[in-house]
């Protein structure tokens, strides 16, 4: 059972729902240590004050807010505890929206919400009401020393909360748009649609895996056992194709072939 990272309550009109938050995700990236290659010793860093040169223990490090003129304001734990926020221990519902109205680019992190004590019945009430109306709750909440927008939605009987970025934290991506004078023909679009249909299917995340992490772990085992890793087969280089329709037609055939081979292996 994971540990809850936050306790508070959802303010649903005049109804209060005590809840606990649990992180819904965990990173499983490959982790490396910085070491001295001569003897394998780990490299350690010292926290040194730039003014007096003293090494400062982690427990004695404070948070400083630097003003534009260079002045530094030191903030203590008590300052954060006294922040004038109504959302420090509550999840305040501010709006109900359709799930498709929120751009996924806004999502930052996902949490499971668990009802606590007497909160079970109002939790179920909110969950079922969201399901019946087909809407999600936009809320404000303070987590990890900052206030955030979040979206609460029912998934598999559980309320999930997705913290969101603020609008001014999203960059303008207009620079990445292709020039307006670049166009494609109907034939090219039709062939692209055929390729999309050839790879269309229901999303099943269990069918995918992290090949990079597996390859690194295989190399690590090779180092330990002294058994060399088999070199991957080199794929034949394909000639550059200028004709988009021809390239997509070949892609469709290759996709169909992969799907047929996958179906045979499944049997």
Rounded Cα distance between 107 and 161, Å, is: 10
The CA angle 198-199-201, to the nearest 5 degrees, is 115
Is the per-residue pLDDT at 265 higher than 70? no
Is the pLDDT score of 20 beyond 90? yes
For the cut 60, the answer to whether the pLDDT of residue 17 exceeds it is: yes
**What is the percentage of the chain residues whose pLDDT exceeds 70?**
90
Tell me 57's DSSP state: -
pLDDT at 159: 97
Domain coordinates of the chain in residue numbers?
Answer: 6-26+83-169, 178-231+239-266
**Residue 139: its pLDDT value, please?**
94
At residue 219, the pLDDT reads: 78
Torsions phi, psi for 56 (to 5 deg): -110, 120
Predicted confidence (pLDDT) per residue in 222-247, tens digit: 877 877 777 766 655 555 555 777 77
Average pLDDT, the chain: 84
Encode pLDDT of 122-177 as tens digits.
Answer: 999 999 999 999 999 999 998 866 788 999 999 999 999 999 999 999 999 999 99
Confidence of residue 78 (pLDDT cuts 50, 70, 90): confident
176 Rama sector, left if φ>0, alpha if ψ -120 to 50, beta otherwise:
alpha
pLDDT given at position 101: 95
Which carries the bigger pLDDT value, residue 26 or residue 230?
26
pLDDT at 82: 66
Output the DSSP codes for 69-97. Answer: TS-EEEE-HHHHHT---TTSSEEEEEEEE
127 CB-near residues (< 8 Å, 6+ apart): 154, 157, 158, 159
Task: Provide the strand spans (E) within the chain.
Answer: 6-12, 15-23, 63-66, 72-75, 90-98, 107-115, 135-143, 146-155, 158-164
pLDDT given at position 110: 95
Q: Which residue has the higher pLDDT, 260 or 202?
A: 202
Distance separating alpha carbons of residues 226 and 229, to the nearest angstrom: 9
Q: Is domain 6-26+83-169 in CATH 3.40.1480.10, yes or no?
A: no
Average pLDDT over residues 102-119: 93
Please say if the pLDDT value at position 86 is more than 70. Answer: no
| Nearest alpha-carbon partner for 12 in 137, 142, 162 | 137
- Alpha-carbon distances of 24 from 4, 87, 123, 137, 204, rounded to whole Å: 11, 21, 18, 18, 18
Does 216 have pLDDT greater than 90?
no
pLDDT computed for residue 121 by the predictor: 94
3-state secondary structure 59-73: HHCCEEEECCCCCEE
Long-range contacts of 20-24 (CB under 8 A, 24+ apart): 20/113, 20/114, 20/116, 21/111, 21/112, 21/113, 21/114, 21/143, 21/161, 22/111, 22/112, 22/114, 23/109, 23/110, 23/111, 23/112, 24/110, 24/111, 24/112, 24/160
Res. 104: pLDDT tops 70 = yes
Query: Tell me, what's the pLDDT at 157?
Result: 96
The per-residue pLDDT for 199 is: 80
pTM above 0.75, yes or no: no
Mean pLDDT on 80-98: 75
């Amino acid at each position: 059972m994971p540990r809850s990272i936050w306790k508070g309550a959802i303010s649903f009109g005049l109804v209060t729902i005590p809840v606990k938050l649990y992180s819904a995700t965990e990173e499983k990236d490959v982790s490396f240590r910085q070491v001295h290659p001569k003897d394998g010793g780990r490299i350690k860093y010292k926290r040194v004050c730039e003014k007096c040169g003293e090494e400062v223990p982690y427990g004695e490090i404070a948070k400083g807010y630097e003003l534009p003129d260079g002045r530094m304001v030191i903030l203590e734990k008590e300052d954060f505890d006294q922040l004038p926020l109504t959302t420090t221990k509550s999840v305040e519902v501010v709006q109900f929206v359709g799930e498709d109205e929120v751009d996924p680019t806004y999502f930052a992190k996902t949490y499971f919400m668990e009802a606590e004590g007497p909160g079970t019945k109002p939790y179920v009430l909110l969950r079922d009401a969201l399901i019946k109306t087909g809407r999600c709750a936009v809320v404000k909440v303070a987590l990890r020393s900052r206030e955030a927008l979040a979206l609460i939605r029912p998934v598999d009987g559980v309320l999930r909360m997705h913290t969101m970025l603020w609008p001014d934290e999203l960059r303008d991506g207009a620079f990445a748009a292709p020039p307006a004078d670049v166009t494609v023909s109907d034939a090219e679009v039709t062939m692209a649609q055929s390729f999309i249909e050839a790879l269309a299917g229901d999303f099943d995340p269990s069918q995918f895996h992290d090949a990079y992490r597996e390859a690194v772990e295989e190399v690590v085992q090779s180092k330990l056992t002294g058994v060399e890793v088999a070199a991957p087969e080199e794929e034949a280089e394909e000639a550059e194709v200028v004709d988009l329709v021809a390239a997509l037609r070949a892609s469709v055939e290759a996709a169909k072939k992969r799907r047929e081979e996958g179906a045979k292996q499944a049997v």
